[in-house]
């Protein structure tokens, strides 16, 4: 069994940077990745229309001046192929590929108490061991198919958006069904609508979508961005979401109505998440404030969709704006004005099954050539459940987290010594502008590993008491926001998975600055909450 000081699981944005830091430290390290190549999210999600909702230049790594100097982003919200090339560029530039193993899916990771090491079994049955096991397995990396009868029966091509085929799919003149209307479908639908002969969209719950307002970055603009990188990253550090958007310090009713209206219009015309994160500070916390803005967005949908019945179907009635993930769109609502696009409201006519020819609802058979499942993920914890992590006393992480993740700071779970979670559930880094969050998570963890090494420690473990404290704080942060009351993947719900009909504390909603301060305090107090030995 080949042994390493550290093994990183996952070659996405997080794993790539963690690998770089550990190689730099001179650690013996390898990175294992289940896919055939690096990129994580940006490797898998190849559906047309897939792109950032983060401003490109706020998502990229900040750690290397040379990298910042040499990389040009072509659009404010770069498309998936560009981000994938970026990650490949980073791996080449820092010569990281030679430490990566592809097609190396981790089936199980078992902690061996006597040796104080983790023992991994890969899909190929190969075994590896390490002292420290670092997970960089993503928060939206375990796709979930809907619980609908007959999905295997369909004769044509059908796939989850996460598994969109690598070779181009010819959509031209095809009849296509898309199931789901989350952030993924909202990016995909306008692109497919332009090519398909007929596009039928099956919607269970609509979302509050907002215009992305993407555009090209000119050479001059890129040069300007480059001179402002320090400022941009500093701005991201100040905001709870790690984006450049800071909420307006005023409360909605402190502002006169006409000024309010002008502000709303300005938000709707702004690019990216400003409409969500740069809104009045009480819009995501106070029901009355939220209701007023929500009504504004509903009217925008009514203005943009020609058929009033279709418009009403696209307007959510079970939650307010910004209390679930806001899908960012480019021509989404206008897609429904096309002759070849049809919206099926599953509340009126539920799907009964998938047939050989297509989708059968209680009202009709929709015969199609391709079915796309844009049905989302087993968010935050799914990737952990898909690996058998066995800790002290033979207990699995899956059992421990059956009712939701239990962690201290989102970094460790008691009973799993030397298992370090990077940007996972309940961590501040896993729930912010991902580029910014993961860089901080990796920096923190690297410093920790260096500290352990410098001080002759070989084992780090958290305790249940500190976990309990963290659960309380995570709950408190949910209670501050309206999103804590709404069923979504933010609150751990998933209708396609058994038992996911209760709230689970999957995310840390306290924001990046607060989380950073907590972590700094932990270090100052000699890694408070961790037992080092």
- Whole-number Å distance between alpha carbons of 528 and 214: 44
Residue 50 Rama label (left phi>0; alpha psi -120 to 50; beta): beta
Residue 13 near ligand NA7 by CB under 6 A: no
506 binds ligand NA7 (CB under 6 A): no
109/413 Cα distance (integer angstroms): 14
Per rule CB under 6 A, is residue 185 in the interface with ligand NA7? yes
Exactly one of 180, 241, 320, 484 binds ligand NA7 (CB under 6 A); which one?
180
Q: Which of 524, 516, 529 is nearest to 451 (CA)?
A: 524
Among 51, 174, 205, 274, interactor with ligand NA7 by CB under 6 A: 205
Least Å distance between CB 70 and ligand NA7? 28
CB 530 within 8 A of CB 460: yes
* Closest residue to ligand NA7: CB criterion: 182
Using CB under 6 A as the binding rule, whether residue 140 contacts ligand NA7 is answered as yes
Q: 7 phi and psi, to 5 degrees?
A: -125, 135
Provide the 10 A C-beta neighbour count for residue 486.
18
SS (H, E, C) 150-164: CCCCCCCCEEEHHHC
Shortest distance, CB of residue 186 to ligand NA7, whole angstroms?
Answer: 7
First to last CA, the chain: 25
Residues 6+ apart with CB under 8 A from 163: 44, 143
Q: How many residues of this chain interact with ligand NA7, rule: CB under 6 A?
A: 23
Q: Which of 204, 213, 237, 250 binds ligand NA7 (CB under 6 A)?
A: 204
Is 183 one of the binding residues for ligand NA7 (CB under 6 A)? Answer: yes
Q: Is 83 in the site for ligand NA7 (CB under 6 A)?
A: no
Question: How long is the chain?
Answer: 533
Q: Is the CB of 204 or the CB of 516 nearer to ligand NA7?
A: 204
Q: How far is CA 324 from the centre of its chain?
A: 13
CA atoms of 477 and 212, how far apart (whole Å): 28
Based on the shown chain and the rule CB under 6 A, indicate whether residue 190 belongs to the binding site for ligand NA7.
no
For ligand NA7, the closer CB: 58 or 462 = 58
Comparing CB distances to ligand NA7, the nearer of 146 and 358 is: 146
> What's the min distance (Å) between Cβ of 136 and ligand NA7?
17
CB of 488 to ligand NA7, least distance (A): 7
Asked if 376 touches ligand NA7 (CB under 6 A), the answer is yes
Which among 242, 246, 224 has a CA at the least distance from the CA of 233?
A: 242
Q: Which listed residue (191, 496, 514, 529) binds ligand NA7 by CB under 6 A?
A: 496
Residues lying near ligand NA7 in the complex (CB under 6 A): 140, 146-148, 179-185, 202, 204-205, 325, 346, 374-377, 489, 495-496
């Amino acid at each position: 069994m080949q042994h390493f000081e550290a093994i990183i699981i996952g070659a996405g944005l997080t794993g790539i940077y963690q690998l770089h830091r550990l190689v730099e430290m001179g650690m013996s390290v390898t990175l294992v990745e289940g896919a055939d190549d690096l990129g994580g999210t940006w490797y898998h999600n190849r559906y047309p229309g897939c792109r950032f909702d983060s401003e490109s230049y706020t998502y990229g790594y900040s750690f290397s001046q040379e990298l910042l100097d040499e990389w040009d982003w072509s659009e404010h919200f770069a498309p998936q192929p560009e981000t994938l090339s970026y990650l490949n560029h980073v791996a080449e530039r820092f010569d990281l590929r030679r430490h990566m193993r592809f097609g190396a899916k981790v089936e199980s990771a078992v902690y061996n108490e006597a040796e104080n090491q983790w023992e991994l079994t890969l899909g190929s049955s190969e075994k590896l061991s390490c002292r420290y096991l670092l997970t960089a397995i993503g928060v939206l990396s375990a796709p979930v198919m809907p619980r609908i009868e007959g999905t295997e029966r369909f004769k044509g091509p059908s796939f989850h958006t996460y598994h969109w085929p690598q070779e181009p799919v010819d959509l031209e003149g095809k009849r296509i069904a898309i199931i789901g209307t989350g952030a993924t479908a909202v990016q995909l639908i306008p692109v497919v609508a332009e090519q398909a002969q007929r596009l039928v969209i099956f919607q269970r719950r609509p979302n509050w979508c907002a215009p992305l307002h993407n555009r090209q970055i000119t050479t001059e603009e890129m040069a300007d961005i480059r001179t402002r990188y320090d400022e941009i990253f500093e701005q991201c550090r100040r905001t709870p979401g790690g984006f450049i958007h800071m909420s307006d310090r005023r409360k909605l009713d402190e502002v006169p109505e006409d000024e309010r209206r002008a502000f709303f219009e300005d938000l709707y015309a702004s690019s990216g998440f400003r409409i969500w994160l740069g809104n009045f500070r009480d819009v995501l916390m106070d029901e009355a404030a939220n209701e007023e803005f929500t009504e504004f967005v509903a009217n925008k949908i009514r203005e943009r969709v020609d058929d009033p019945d279709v418009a009403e179907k696209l307007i959510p009635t079970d939650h307010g704006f910004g209390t679930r993930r806001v899908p960012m769109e480019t021509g989404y609502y206008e897609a429904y004005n096309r002759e070849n696009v049809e919206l099926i409201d599953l509340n009126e006519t539920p799907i009964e099954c998938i047939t050989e020819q297509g989708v059968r609802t209680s009202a009709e058979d929709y015969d199609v050539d391709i079915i796309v499942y844009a049905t989302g993920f087993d968010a935050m914890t799914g990737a952990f459940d898909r690996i058998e992590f066995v800790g002290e006393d033979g207990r699995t992480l899956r059992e421990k987290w059956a009712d939701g993740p239990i962690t201290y700071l989102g970094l460790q779970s008691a009973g799993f010594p030397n298992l370090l979670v990077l940007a996972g559930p309940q961590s501040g880094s896993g729930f912010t502008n991902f580029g910014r969050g993961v860089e901080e998570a990796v920096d923190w963890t690297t410093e920790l590993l260096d500290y352990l090494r410098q001080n002759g420690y070989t084992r780090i473990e958290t305790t249940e008491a500190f976990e309990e404290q963290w659960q309380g704080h995570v709950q408190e942060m949910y209670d501050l926001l309206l999103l804590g009351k709404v069923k979504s993947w933010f609150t751990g719900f998933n209708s396609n998975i058994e038992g996911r009909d209760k709230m689970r504390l999957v995310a840390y909603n306290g924001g990046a600055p607060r989380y950073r301060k907590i972590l700094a305090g932990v270090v100052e107090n000699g890694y408070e909450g961790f037992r080092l030995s």
